[in-house]
Structure 1
Amino acid sequence: MVVWGCVPAKDTQTSGAGSASAQKAATSGNPIFPGWYADPEAAVFGKQYWVYPTFSAPYNQQVYFDAFSSKDLITWQKHTRILDTAQIKWAKRALWAPAVVQKGKQYFLFFGANDIQSDQELGGIGVAVANQPEGPYKDYLGKPLVDKFHNGAQPIDQFVFQDIDGQYYLIYGGWRHCNIAKLKPDFTGFVPQADGTIFKEITPQNYVEGPIMFMRNSKYYFMWSEGGWTGPDYSVAYAVADSPFGPFERVGKILQQDPSIATGAGHHSVIQVPGKDEWYIVYHRRPLDQKDRNARVTCIEPMTFDAQGMINPVKLTKEGVEKRKL
């Protein structure tokens, strides 16, 4: 077991604001744990926060996922290799952007694999399952859930959204296209929509990749990443609608680089404290002293709204967030 944010023991390390005497740290510090990690999926399961990131490395080295858990956003425990290509026989490289949901007593991890460039290649979006949030996860379908380009969307960057009626949706897409599809209750496939189609395109202006969706005050907030993931223009924008199908009219950017803090801030997720109007944004960014495109770290900031329900611009910090137990 490896823990960050507490007084070091023989088998522990510290990171971020807690690197000296983190037990007394007032904030999480950014990054919240060491190592190159990107595309973080954040979730709350029980009384713990969880972060499931991409291991940021050359594609042929991206053959596994680690996960991180915390009871207070300060101290993080690392769970190593919760899923790797040994469990996914059709996946060989480029394991990307996990999305994890709990359904019943099981946890389902949706992931992208192989970075396919055409319908003739094997890969796309897969599903793994486990009995606890830290895994170990195993292949659920034995094949990809989405293995083709629909509406021009590369099958990557998947997010699973549950609507208020209980319906689960898969929202995904790279190559500047985003689709939404209704998942079957057992996550083995899709339910056709009213017009008979499976994949409906909901691409907003300037969309590139990294979609997520959440609800607040009966409105659907759709967020995505813009710009190039290797460049300083990487950023996050959003739209608001009355339906998960939109239409989504771009409002503007809320997360972007701060040249005094870090560059390439993007590909994020959102945490809501259960039952509270308290929100956090978890994202990756590139430290100022790093030029390698894979040198990305996972960070967290508060996310707030104005009186009209618009998302306030997020300020990048080195301090991160204060302790918040569930």
Structure 2
Amino acid sequence: MTELMGGMMLLFDWRNSGQRVMSYVAPVWEVTGTFLAMFVVETDATFAGILLPVAFAFAALLLVFLILFIIRNLSIILGEFAEKRQILTDRQLYYIYVIATLLLSVIFLAFVSAVISGNGVTLLISGNPVNSLLSVSNAQVSFNVAKWLVGPGDILFIIAAVFITFGLAPVLYDIKRFSGIAIISSVIGFILGVISLVQMGVSINPVIVIPAIIIIGAPVLYRFNIARSMLTNKAAFIVLLVIAVYSLYFTVYPTAMHGRLVLSEVVTRGPMVLGTILTTAVGFTLLAFMLSLYVYVNYRSSRSLASAK
């Protein structure tokens, strides 16, 4: 999501935002790939009985996602030596990165909305897919894009996410010129987001106050220079973002796909639970260490270049 925010800033103001965005993306882009791999492993370990059927159902979306992910990576790699080789200009590389990142985000949001609403998804589970060796054949899942497109709330969900992203982006990347419109964008995005959830059949929980405070409060505080140093701190901002996202757990728990998928029926049980917990703890600890190391190396490199100039 932070890269989507960067993509929004590059789209509207690449000349002034380019250095700020890419200085954040450059040290973490490889870790992002590692995080995605870790996410897939964790999902497989937690929901082993349903992951493969869902993956087959969304195979087309996943394929496009992977192609765009490769294009996104190539744009960053080329950016590291394009100036020396004169292959592409900074502006061209920025827009390749922006287009790939925006489309990646749309595909991801489409998948999330389908999981929440169940629009376009056909789900049939016979027996207990966790305790059966035939779990893949017992669970039949298909996805119809046309039915998803006309489903209530899904497109609005993506539009709301775009508004929220644009509203939070100036805070993360400390771009003051967009701070005024960012407040309006965040308010519109949050309202549209709530409407989309209601249309998708989600019962709004009082916990919705938490993301509301973060989504609307952060741009307001930034605009009036309140707690600006904390809000523009990447680590602090990401913590707030994680809190906002995970506070919306009620949209998919304890059921998903508009109540048609009871997650307790497909969650891993038995000895694998301890293994999953240990894998999560060790894996994400190593991932946090990698991210910290990348950021530190990038910071030292930037300081060295600044001193040399």
Greater percentage in helix: 2
Q: Which one has the largest radius of gyration?
A: 2
> Do these two structures clear the TM 0.5 threshold for a shared fold by scoring above it?
no
TM-score (norm 1): 0.26
Greater percentage in strand: 1
- Bigger relative contact order (CA 8 A; separation at least 6): 2
